Structure 1
Amino acid sequence: MIKFFRKIRQNLLMENKTGKYLKYAIGEIVLVVIGILIALQVNNLNEQRKANDFEVKILKEIRNNLQTDLTEIREDLELMVDINKACLSVKNHLLTLDEPTDSLSVSSAILRVTPHFNPINSGYNLLQSRSVGIIKNDSLRNSISYQYDILYPYYKTYEDERGRFHALHSETQLLEYFSMNYDINNPSAYYGFYFDISKEDYQKLKKDSKFIKLLNAIAFENSTIQSRGKRVENSILELIDKITIELQNK
């Protein structure tokens, strides 16, 4: 093709058709420019398609991560319900019964439980490795950043506080009166956990007013985390819905 155009230009020059040569040269330049613009447009379309495909991939992975997070936070919230019930059960047991029972053994073991939420960040980490700007929907991009950069870390601070409270207060008090046991085959145990207490220690425990205060504190700490956990659950559900809608529009 290049040889063909060169031959035309040479013939026009040899025939002294300068005017036609200039028109032809201008036309050839225009064709070259058009060709370059078309090539650039095609390249831009290809790059845009790749970016769109990557955005879809990222959004799907983040949604999958969130669905796993949702399952875990709901399991944690169920454990928190059990902890609140256990606090009330142990308190009522101490106030109304003169001897320890299997119910006390299980309920006191539940007080040892400290649910811990571990969100999956693989999708968000992949997004950050490229650029959060690849998510074109501003509202959705902000929601994703808020979930991973603010809400999850904020929830973790409450979990860390509960962990410190448990280590400094709950653990020492429970060990003072109870013997911790684990037997996955014990049908009355809580996920294999149960605590033993002697009759002598139980009588001491009944007279320990500080332990009742501890039960109230455990319930308070647990309810605080529970409230934050429900907020995390709702935020996950909302973000999953937003991502699903965005993917449907792709």
Structure 2
Amino acid sequence: MENKTSKYFKYAIGEIVLVVIGILIALQINTWNKQNEEHELELKILQEIRVNLNLDLNEIQEDIEIMADINAACDDVNTYLRTQESPSEKFFNNAAILRVTPHFDPNTSGYGLLVSKGIGIISSDSLRNDISLHYERLYSYYKRYEEERLRFHALHSEPKLIQHFTPLYDETQKYYLKHKISQEGFNILKKDSAFTKVISAIAYENSSVKNRAERVEKSILSLIKSLDNEIKSLQ
């Protein structure tokens, strides 16, 4: 009886050990599966953010080029008013450019997915912080600059331009609105010192936004580089 009891006890312990091992293996497999799922999700999110940033980069660089055109147009218009006695096609085109206010609309689907899944899914602390700062602070701050320029445009530059110029639709023009002014209107415009001040203010407001846009461009380029490195390490 003692021998049978000992064998039964050993058998029971062996069964318990096997059950425990089975549970531990199942838990480990479940952990691996979960880690693999999180790994794939992290990779997917980073790749989508990478695509979004590439689109953002193209848009912000296009806006920077347009703002450079606006600054050049401001200089040309002021110089023309000081040195010329009659309007020209180039003057009309430059006046039209003064009404342009580029608007940056970032693509945020990847970042939105990241927020919904939890930003902690990104394993790299530095990359996680860089992404958060870029979307939550840099883009928001840039939007404030654009909004300030739009308010200035609505309150000051737009009324002054409409006062002196007649906007006409023209398919051939880059900015789609050609601004005409008669000789008599041009003579009046040359004497309007307030108009010259508005043009200088347009250049100032535009330069402020352009400077901020160049910071956004720099941040996008840096973040794309970091994302490329992280995506490569995860693949």
TM-score class, shorter-chain normalisation, is over 0.9
- What are the Cα deviations for residues 171-197 of structure 1, in whole angstroms up to 9, with x where unaligned? 00000000011211x3xx333321000
Note the C-alpha offset of 1:27. Answer: 1.1
Q: Give the distance between the partners of 1:147 and 1:63, measured in 2 at CA.
A: 13
Matched, 1:216 2:203: no
- 2:9 is aligned to 22
TM-score by length of 1: 0.92
- For the pair shown, which has the larger CA radius of gyration, 1 or 2? 1
Aligned partner (choices 71, 78, 96) of residue 91 of structure 1: 78
Note the C-alpha offset of 1:16. Answer: 6.1
Matched, 1:151 2:135: no
Q: Give the distance between the partners of 1:89 and 1:71, measured in 2 at CA.
A: 27
- What are the Cα deviations for residues 56-109 of structure 1, in whole angstroms up to 9, with x where unaligned? 000000000000000000000000000000000100110000001001100000
Contact 2:100 2:175 in 1 (8 A): no
Residues 28-177 of structure 1 correspond to what in structure 2 (within 5 A)?
Answer: 28-177=15-164
Q: Which AA in structure 2 matches 1:191?
A: Y
Contact 1:87 1:215 in 2 (8 A): yes
Tell me how large the CA RMSD over aligned residues is.
Answer: 1.1
Q: Which AA in structure 2 matches 1:248?
A: K
Note the C-alpha offset of 1:243. Answer: 0.6
The number of equivalent residue pairs is 234
- 1:179 is aligned to 166
Q: Which AA in structure 1 matches 2:212?
A: R
Q: Give the distance between the partners of 1:221 and 1:160, measured in 2 at CA.
A: 11
Aligned partner (choices 230, 233, 244) of residue 214 of structure 2: 230
Q: Give the distance between the partners of 1:125 and 1:219, measured in 2 at CA.
A: 35
Provide structure 2 residue ranges, at least 5 long, that are not aligned to the other structure.
none
Q: Give the distance between the partners of 1:208 and 1:247, measured in 2 at CA.
A: 58
Q: Give the distance between the partners of 1:121 and 1:191, measured in 2 at CA.
A: 27
Contact 1:109 1:190 in 2 (8 A): no
Q: Give the distance between the partners of 1:96 and 1:155, measured in 2 at CA.
A: 37
Contact 1:69 1:120 in 2 (8 A): yes
TM-score by length of 2: 0.97
Specify which structure has the bigger relative contact order, considering alpha-carbon pairs within 8 angstroms and separated by 6 or more residues.
Answer: 2
Q: Give the distance between the partners of 1:190 and 1:91, measured in 2 at CA.
A: 21
Note the C-alpha offset of 1:203. Answer: 0.5
- 2:223 is aligned to 239
Q: Give the distance between the partners of 2:27 and 2:228, measured in 1 at CA.
A: 33
Provide structure 1 residue ranges, at least 5 long, that are not aligned to the other structure.
1-12
- What are the Cα deviations for residues 23-53 of structure 1, in whole angstroms up to 9, with x where unaligned? 1111110110000000000011001000000
Q: Which AA in structure 2 matches 1:92?
A: T
What is the aligned-residue identity percentage? Answer: 55
Q: Give the distance between the partners of 1:120 and 1:78, measured in 2 at CA.
A: 20
